[in-house]
Amino acid sequence: MPENKALWINAKRGPFTVGPAPYTAPRADEIVIRARAVAVNPMDRLQQTLGDIITPWTRYPFVFGSDVAGEVVAVGSGVKRFHVGDRVVGYAAGSDKGRKRAAEGAFQDYVVLLAPMTSAIPDTVSFEAASVISLGVSTAACGLFQKDFLALNAPSASASPTGKTLIVWGGSTSVGSNAIQLAVAAGYDVVTTASPRNFAYVKGLGARGAFDYHSKTVVADIVNFLSGREIVGALAIGPGSAAACVDIVGRCKGNRFVSMATLPTSWDDVPAGRGRIFHLVPALARMIVGTIGLNQRARRRKVRTKMIWGSALVANEVGPMIFEAFLPAALAEARFVAAPGATVVGTGLAQIPVGLERQRQGVSATKLVVTL
């Protein structure tokens, strides 16, 4: 049996520690991969500092992490799509409420993945490049395709143009980079926001229009651009995105719905240890005030809003829609690219907290990756 190692959090809000971990054999609908690259996400940081609030079902010691690519080393009895040696990318679902399983966290050498949440990757796509995909594509897909969100048509090689437009606020984020590509592959036009240095990047992913979210006139500019067009709603990503999207959607013709990836206020400055209460109480107060303000704004504009939970697709038809039906062929035919580009910050599990700290300081149209 292979020897496994993991980046553990041993108690709630505890530090990351590298140590031995059991090797877990796959159940019927699972595979095990030897992880070769993992990407870090804002959520991984928040699970360390605020895991007791945002994922209260977690039982410690635990292994977090969602984004992983590697080689298949074992295949469950019911799995037909994968064989030992296949190169894959998968959504490591361990911290989802329905899974709650350290063996399914990405931050370890041998990761258990759900087969329906895993895609083969072509030889032209490196493990590092592929590792950026999973949480970004999953969060985007939850907001775009789930029935109780925007309920868009599924992405496919043969999607007909709908002539309708989706607004993606935050197109250069990891979630946004995936959302633009998924929506275009489903037949929608996309209008997005980014810093001007990333306009060429988001247009390269398929966006028709790109607007600077720093501009004071950005909402009016987008509304003007959309004049005479029918919208299918908005995906709001990044600080301040939900209020701006409510304002845009409320002034356009079409579906008055905003799928929200980002909470109305940030929790980034709440530490795991010393000074926690000092920062937590104002963050909670800001959250309550921000949520009430957003709800009032949405009611005034007659717009519905709903917060995305990025792993919800594990339990519904959207997971296989993306990881089985769409991604493998789309990646092989380069109709979908792993985006944003990976920036490798180091090698080995101990480098993951280094990547998380760099992530906290901010990235632009790139995703931080650790090779294993």
Ligand X SMILES: NC(=O)c1ccc[n+]([C@@H]2O[C@H](COP(=O)([O-])OP(=O)(O)OC[C@H]3O[C@@H](n4cnc5c(N)ncnc54)[C@H](OP(=O)(O)O)[C@@H]3O)[C@@H](O)[C@H]2O)c1
213 binds ligand X (CB under 6 A): yes
343 binds ligand X (CB under 6 A): no
Q: Where are the alpha helices (DSSP H) in the chain?
A: 42-54, 127-130, 134-145, 174-185, 199-204, 218-225, 241-250, 276-301, 318-320, 327-332, 352-361
Nearest to 141 by CA among 121, 129, 128, 155: 155
133 binds ligand X (CB under 6 A): no
Q: Which stretch binds ligand X (CB under 6 A): 75-83, 245-253, 324-332, 361-369?
A: 361-369
**Alpha-carbon distance 185 to 162, whole Å?**
11
Total binding residues for ligand X by CB under 6 A? 30
The pattern of x and - marking residues 105 through 124 that bind ligand X according to CB under 6 A reads --------------------
- Taking the least distance from each CB to ligand X, the nearer of 113 and 135 is 135
Q: Which stretch binds ligand X (CB under 6 A): 91-99, 182-190, 289-297, 306-314?
A: 306-314
235 binds ligand X (CB under 6 A): no
Beta bridge partners of 192: 168, 210
192 binds ligand X (CB under 6 A): no
**Alpha-carbon distance 317 to 307, whole Å?**
19
Shortest distance in whole angstroms from residue 190 CB to ligand X: 14
Place of tokens 């032209």: 124
- Of the residues 33, 194, 226, 342, which one makes contact with ligand X according to CB under 6 A: 194
- Of the residues 310, 319, 353, 355, which one makes contact with ligand X according to CB under 6 A: 310
- Amino acid residing at 333: E
Q: What single DSSP character describes residue 62?
A: B
- Of the residues 72, 167, 365, 369, which one makes contact with ligand X according to CB under 6 A: 365
**Alpha-carbon distance 353 to 357, whole Å?**
6
309 binds ligand X (CB under 6 A): yes
- Cβ-count burial 230-249 (b if 16+ within 10 Å, e if not): ebbbbbbbbeebbbbbbbbb
Torsional class of 290: left (φ above 0), alpha (ψ -120 to 50), beta (otherwise): alpha
Place of tokens 């005034």: 300
Shortest distance in whole angstroms from residue 321 CB to ligand X: 17
Shortest distance in whole angstroms from residue 310 CB to ligand X: 3
262 binds ligand X (CB under 6 A): yes
Q: Which stretch binds ligand X (CB under 6 A): 16-24, 50-58, 124-132, 231-239?
A: 231-239
**Alpha-carbon distance 340 to 67, whole Å?**
13
Are the CB atoms for 234 and 259 separated by under 8 Å?
Answer: yes
- Taking the least distance from each CB to ligand X, the nearer of 218 and 272 is 218
Shortest distance in whole angstroms from residue 83 CB to ligand X: 31
Two tokens, residue 320? 């296989």
Q: Which stretch binds ligand X (CB under 6 A): 19-27, 159-167, 324-332, 363-371?
A: 363-371
* Span 152-181, contacts to ligand X by CB under 6 A: 169-170, 172-175
C-alpha pair distances (Å), 158 with each of 61, 161, 330: 46, 9, 11
The pattern of x and - marking residues 25 through 44 that bind ligand X according to CB under 6 A reads ----------------xxx-
Binding-site ranges for ligand X (CB under 6 A): 41-43, 135-136, 139, 169-170, 172-175, 193-195, 198, 213, 237-241, 261-262, 308-310, 363-365
